């Protein structure tokens, strides 16, 4: 039963990945412009243009290009970058660790800060703390990464001098100092991502917990004389966490989206920036490769969430 | 208690995980994190900000600004440019044409070596130009159409044979063609596909030692570099740091994280930095110009009176004062700008902003309800500002201009297909009027966006190209510029004054015209030093 459940989820994940790959493949080719123009002089001869198109494989019919790409992908080959004349895997693998560090730390920080804030708001419902948290949560949802980024860089970086302006690490630091430098550089971009995401966690946690606090089992626990904090954290929060877990899965995709802007503003060398650059350069293979990697990460995270859900809540497993 | 221990373990695991995920950390020698920070600058390291990564390390392929800045420090050119745009020696010491103009001779320095110890010889130059011709590399290929073959006279002398007299040939290859090592590049099956992304063999004042894409490019000086004024570049290490967002880049300069911003700053940013005592602004002239080109193959733009009507419906002074905040000069509506002192014609007059004259011209042409589209790159901060001004002033003359701000790649594609009524844009470098005019205005020219076909103009440009010196070329080229003005084959709006910023902790940069050279050209960086 359990194996069948995992198998079905795995199959669904692969199907999602194929769909994402297909949509991306055709979407990048809908971009207006000509990738050859991004590589060579716009006024190149027809001969050179034809040669470049053939080199890039763009002279083939679209379906042939698509099947070739799928064949390459199955073999783990993401192709060659048009502009950099390098394997896409090499281009992206250099960037991937930075994006993982940024997004994962932002996600952990959001959960660690968001859940207690949601609990505080729910348990002090309609009090001043609740109102403050709600206003903050709604405001955070409407924040725009570049504005937040420049504001944080100017105030905490230039004026107060607490954090470096852009970059990911001090090039001269080695050993443990390098790790500290990396964490130091991580604070502002991570904070930006946390700020734009926090609202949905806090507000979801607040509403689901308020609902849970009105349930019969909570009334029973209170009647049995369980301490109020234990009632909240041991009984109600556990049940209220399930919808928040769902949000975490959905937010992962948004987090990667936010990383494009965050990495650009903070000069952070991750995949988001590689996407930003590849769009400008019409480097289809890099764009496709980056989207495949990100889609695979989101699918894998959702798969793990599904499986974890299945173990935590038997109703899901048999559904 | 148990829960607290678990939480502590989780936190430790996250930190350890983050540390474990850390990409390999570089660990180059001394110096500060980035720029000079709060301390006085030392000649150990100069950090330069740029908004883009190097895309391709192959200097014959790479065509972005950062590609040029980095590879210009690695691969020498035959000549370089001084502040006035005049060619001065670099790898070449002397150059001349034969009397019939069909042979060009170049003599080279004998003290240049590639970083692997092999000498830079005439063979490298011949290999480079033959490769450019064979694989038809971008700009240079378009400029050497007169080139036939080259002969190595000695390791330090070359003779170029031309199919026709071309006085622009040496000028063009000297400036535009980076010289690559034959013994390295010839091993690649296709130079176009050669990434040149490691084990660089170079001969410029600096050699590339470390690349961290998305972050920085570290270059170390070559201790013995003949063309540097003192024989050795002044700064030990040059670091290019990448800031995709210009606002972050400016904050980094203000914070002392970088010492120089290589790219040109938008006028509004330049104005905001003028009061900062820690920053010095340098103004350099552009070698190009901003312009409107009218598609002469489309009706009614094929009628010169309509083009003149459009030219009289632009408020040039307002564009320079408001959109460019004064960082622009008039070129008197001439393609021979003040940045070209050898060719500049002071008798030219700018088209007057006169809507009545514009209306009258349209009436004469029998054109009513004129409605045209105008394409431009929406990411260009200057054009995005003045495009609405062009629309609004034309409206006063009863002309409707529909603005089409496009994404850059779409804009390039449309321009390349000549799919527009009005093309709003700018040329980055027009360094040699006879050669540039041939590309921009001769029938079938590579960048003849207005699709001009005028035999008289073709003839004048040909005369200019055949001339073997600027003095000889000046007459026909000025005539050609007058014709372009009368026929409004190009409507030059202004020549921008570029703003380049650097920390006051550094001095002695040698600014050169155009953003491509700026203050990060090899000669400038070879002599820059910390301020006393």
**CB-closest option in A37, A85, A277 to B193:** A85
Residue whose entry in the numeric block shows the structure tokens 């944080």: A152
Show the domain range for A198. Answer: 95-316
Show the domain range for B397. Answer: 289-496
- pLDDT tens for each residue of B362-388: 999 999 999 999 999 988 889 999 999
More confident residue, B28 or A204: A204
Per-residue model confidence (pLDDT) at position A311: 67
- A227 has pLDDT over 90: no
Q: Are residues B180 and B298 in the same domain?
A: no
Per-residue model confidence (pLDDT) at position B40: 56
Whether B59 maps to a domain, the answer reads no
Q: How far is B348 from chain A (nearest CA, A)?
A: 30
Strands B506-507 and B422-427 come out as unpaired
Q: Measured between beta carbons, which residues in chain A are less than 8 angstroms from residue B239?
A: 171
- pLDDT tens for each residue of B236-268: 999 999 999 899 999 999 998 999 999 999 888
More confident residue, A273 or B393: B393
Per-residue model confidence (pLDDT) at position B180: 95
Whether A192 maps to a domain, the answer reads yes
Per-residue model confidence (pLDDT) at position B42: 63
The answer to whether A212 and A234 are in contact (CB under 8 A) is no
Q: Do B247 and A150 touch (CB under 8 A)?
A: yes
Residue whose entry in the numeric block shows the structure tokens 């589209």: B373
Tokens of B348: 């030219």
Whether A61 maps to a domain, the answer reads no
Q: Do A164 and B248 touch (CB under 8 A)?
A: no
Lowest mean pLDDT among A7-16, B327-336, B496-505: A7-16
- pLDDT tens for each residue of A134-169: 888 888 878 888 888 999 999 999 889 899 998 888
Residue A70 at interface with chain B, using a CB cutoff of 8 Å: no
Average pLDDT of chain B to the nearest whole number: 87
Q: Do B18 and A32 touch (CB under 8 A)?
A: no
| CA B240 – CA B439 distance, rounded (Å) | 33
| Overall number of domains in chain A | 1
- A96 has pLDDT over 70: yes
In sequence order, what E strands does B51-189 have? 79-81, 87-89, 92-97, 103-108, 147-154, 157-162
- pLDDT tens for each residue of B84-137: 777 889 999 999 999 888 999 999 999 999 999 999 999 999 999 999 888 776
Whether A67 maps to a domain, the answer reads no
| CA B418 – CA B373 distance, rounded (Å) | 12
CA neighbours closer than 13 Å in the CB half-sphere of residue B517: 27
Per-residue model confidence (pLDDT) at position B62: 66
Q: How far is B138 from chain A (nearest CA, A)?
A: 5
CATH number at residue B365: 3.10.105.10
Whether B106 maps to a domain, the answer reads yes
| CA B53 – CA B409 distance, rounded (Å) | 18
CATH number at residue B91: 3.90.76.10
- B17 has pLDDT over 50: no
Lowest mean pLDDT among A7-11, A279-283, B174-178, B438-442: A279-283
Per-residue model confidence (pLDDT) at position B372: 95
Q: How far is A65 from chain B (nearest CA, A)?
A: 20
**CB-closest option in B63, B239, B243 to A166:** B243
Q: Measured between beta carbons, which residues in chain B are less than 8 angstroms from residue A101?
A: 18, 21-22
> Helix or strand or coil: residue B16?
helix
Per-residue model confidence (pLDDT) at position B39: 56
Report the share of chain A in percent with pLDDT over 70. Answer: 91
Question: Which of B185, B211, B237 lies at the terminal end of a domain, its last residue?
Answer: B185
**CB-closest option in A42, A100, A282 to B416:** A42
Helix axes A88-123, A284-312, angle to 10 degrees: 40
Mean pLDDT of A250-263: 81
- A22 has pLDDT over 80: yes
Whether B470 maps to a domain, the answer reads yes
> Helix or strand or coil: residue B190?
coil
Whether B525 maps to a domain, the answer reads no
Mean pLDDT of B511-524: 86
pLDDT band per the 50, 70, 90 thresholds, residue B28: very low
Burial per residue of B317-348, b for 16 or more beta-carbon CB atoms within 10 angstroms, e otherwise: eebbeebbbebbbbbbbbbbbebbebbbbeeb
Count of CB atoms situated within 10 Å of the CB of A78: 23
- B327 has pLDDT over 60: yes
CA neighbours closer than 13 Å in the CB half-sphere of residue B442: 18
Lowest mean pLDDT among B405-409, B471-475, B485-489: B405-409
Mean pLDDT of A280-289: 85
Per-residue model confidence (pLDDT) at position B190: 80
Whether A7 maps to a domain, the answer reads no
Whether B272 maps to a domain, the answer reads no
CATH number at residue A162: 1.10.3720.10
ipTM of the complex: 0.79
Bond preceding residue A191 cis, omega within 30 of 0: no
Per-residue model confidence (pLDDT) at position A38: 61
Residue A144 at interface with chain B, using a CB cutoff of 8 Å: no
Mean pLDDT of B451-478: 92
- A32 has pLDDT over 90: no
Instruction: State pTM to two decimals.
Output: 0.82
Per-residue model confidence (pLDDT) at position A317: 56
Strand order across the B157-162 sheet: B92-97, B103-108, B157-162, B147-154
| Overall number of domains in chain B | 2
Mean pLDDT of A289-314: 79
- B6 has pLDDT over 50: no
Highest mean pLDDT range out of A31-40, A90-99, A137-146, B499-508?
B499-508
Question: Which of B160, B185, B210 lies at the terminal end of a domain, its last residue?
Answer: B185
Mean pLDDT of A262-273: 90
Strands B400-406 and B371-377 come out as parallel
Residue of B nearest to A147 (CA): B247
| CA B127 – CA B61 distance, rounded (Å) | 15
Lowest mean pLDDT among A196-205, B20-29, B272-281: B20-29
Strands B45-50 and B237-242 come out as parallel
Whether B391 maps to a domain, the answer reads yes
- pLDDT tens for each residue of B222-238: 998 988 888 888 899 99
| Phi and psi based region of residue A182 (left: phi greater than 0; alpha: psi -120 to 50; beta: remaining) | alpha
Question: For testing the chain B interface, which of A36, A80, A84 should be mutated: the one with the most B CBs within 10 Å?
Answer: A84
Per-residue model confidence (pLDDT) at position B387: 95
């Amino acid at each position: 039963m359990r194996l069948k459940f995992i198998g079905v989820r795995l199959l669904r994940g692969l199907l999602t990945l194929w769909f994402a790959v297909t949509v991306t493949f055709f979407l990048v080719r809908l971009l207006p412009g000509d990738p050859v123009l991004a590589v060579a002089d716009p006024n190149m001869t027809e001969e050179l243009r034809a040669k470049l198109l053939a080199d890039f494989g763009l002279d083939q019919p679209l379906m042939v290009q698509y099947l070739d790409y799928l064949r390459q992908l199955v073999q783990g080959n993401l192709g060659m970058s048009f502009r950099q004349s390098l394997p896409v895997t090499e281009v992206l693998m250099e960037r991937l660790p930075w994006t993982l560090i940024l997004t994962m730390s932002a996600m952990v920080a959001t959960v660690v800060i968001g859940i207690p804030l949601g609990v505080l708001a729910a348990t002090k419902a309609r009090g001043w703390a609740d109102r403050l948290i709600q206003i903050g949560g709604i405001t955070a949802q409407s924040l725009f990464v570049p504005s937040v980024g420049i504001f944080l860089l100017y105030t905490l970086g230039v004026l107060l001098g607490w954090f470096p302006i852009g970059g990911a690490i001090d090039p001269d630091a080695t050993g443990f100092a390098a790790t500290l430098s990396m964490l130091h550089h991580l604070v502002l971009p991570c904070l930006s991502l946390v700020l734009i995401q926090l609202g949905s966690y806090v507000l979801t946690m607040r509403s689901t917990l308020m609902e849970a606090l009105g349930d019969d089992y909570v009334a029973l626990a209170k009647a049995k004389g369980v301490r109020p904090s234990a009632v909240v954290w041991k009984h109600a929060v556990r049940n209220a966490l399930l919808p928040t877990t769902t949000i975490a899965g959905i937010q992962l995709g948004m987090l990667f989206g936010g990383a494009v802007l965050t990495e650009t503003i903070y000069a952070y060398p991750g995949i988001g920036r590689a996407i930003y650059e590849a769009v400008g350069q019409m480097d289809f293979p890099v764009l496709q490769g980056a989207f495949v990697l990100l889609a695979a990460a989101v699918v894998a995270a959702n798969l793990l969430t599904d499986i974890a859900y299945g173990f935590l809540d038997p109703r899901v497993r048999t559904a | 208690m148990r829960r607290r221990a678990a939480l502590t373990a989780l936190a430790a695991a996250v930190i350890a995980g983050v540390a474990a995920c850390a990409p390999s950390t570089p660990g180059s020698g001394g110096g500060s994190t980035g720029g000079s920070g709060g301390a006085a600058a030392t000649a150990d390291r100069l950090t330069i900000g740029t908004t883009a990564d190097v895309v391709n390390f192959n200097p014959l392929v790479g065509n972005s600004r950062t590609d040029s800045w980095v590879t210009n420090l690695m691969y020498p050119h035959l000549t370089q440019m001084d502040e006035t745009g005049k060619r001065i020696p670099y790898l070449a010491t002397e150059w001349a044409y034969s009397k019939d103009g069909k042979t060009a001779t170049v003599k080279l320095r004998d003290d240049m070596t590639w970083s692997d110890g092999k000498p830079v010889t005439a063979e490298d130059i011949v290999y480079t130009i033959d490769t450019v011709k064979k694989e038809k590399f971008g700009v240079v290929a378009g400029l050497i159409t007169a080139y036939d073959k080259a002969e190595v006279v000695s390791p330090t002398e070359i003779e170029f044979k031309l199919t026709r007299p071309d006085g622009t040939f040496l000028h063009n290859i000297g400036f535009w063609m980076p010289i690559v090592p034959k013994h390295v590049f010839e091993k690649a099956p296709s130079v176009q596909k050669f990434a040149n992304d490691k084990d660089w063999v170079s001969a410029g004042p600096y050699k590339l030692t470390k690349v961290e894409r998305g972050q920085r490019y570290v270059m170390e000086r070559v201790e013995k570099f003949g063309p540097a004024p003192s024989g050795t570049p002044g700064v030990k290490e040059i670091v290019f740091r990448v800031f995709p967002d210009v606002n972050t880049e400016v904050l980094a300069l203000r914070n002392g994280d970088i010492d120089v911003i290589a790219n040109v700053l938008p006028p509004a940013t330049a104005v905001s930095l003028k009061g900062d005592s820690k920053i010095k602004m340098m103004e350099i002239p552009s070698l190009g110009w901003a312009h409107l080109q009218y598609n002469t193959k489309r009706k009614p733009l094929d009628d010169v009176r309509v083009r003149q009507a459009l030219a009289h419906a632009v408020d040039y002074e307002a564009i320079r004062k408001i959109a460019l905040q004064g960082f622009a000069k008039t070129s008197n509506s001439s393609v021979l700008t003040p940045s070209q002192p050898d060719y500049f014609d002071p008798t030219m007059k700018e088209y007057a902003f006169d809507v009545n004259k514009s209306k009258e011209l349209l009436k004469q042409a029998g054109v009513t309800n004129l409605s045209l589209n105008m394409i431009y790159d929406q990411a260009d901060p200057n054009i995005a500002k003045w495009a609405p001004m062009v629309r609004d002033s034309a409206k006063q003359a009863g002309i409707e201009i529909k603005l089409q701000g496009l994404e850059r790649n779409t804009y390039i594609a449309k321009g390349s297909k000549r799919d527009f009524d009005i093309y709003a844009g700018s040329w980055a470098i027009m360094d040699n009027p006879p050669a540039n005019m041939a590309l921009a205005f001769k029938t079938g020219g590579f960048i003849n966006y207005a699709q001009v076909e005028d035999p008289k103009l073709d003839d004048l440009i040909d005369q200019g190209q055949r001339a073997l010196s600027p003095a000889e070329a000046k007459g026909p080229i000025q005539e050609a510029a007058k014709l372009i003005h009368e026929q409004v084959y190009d409507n030059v709006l202004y020549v921008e004054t570029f703003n380049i910023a650097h920390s006051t902790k550094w001095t002695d940069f040698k600014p050169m015209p155009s953003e491509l050279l700026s203050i990060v050209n090899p000669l400038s960086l070879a002599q820059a030093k910390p301020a006393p």
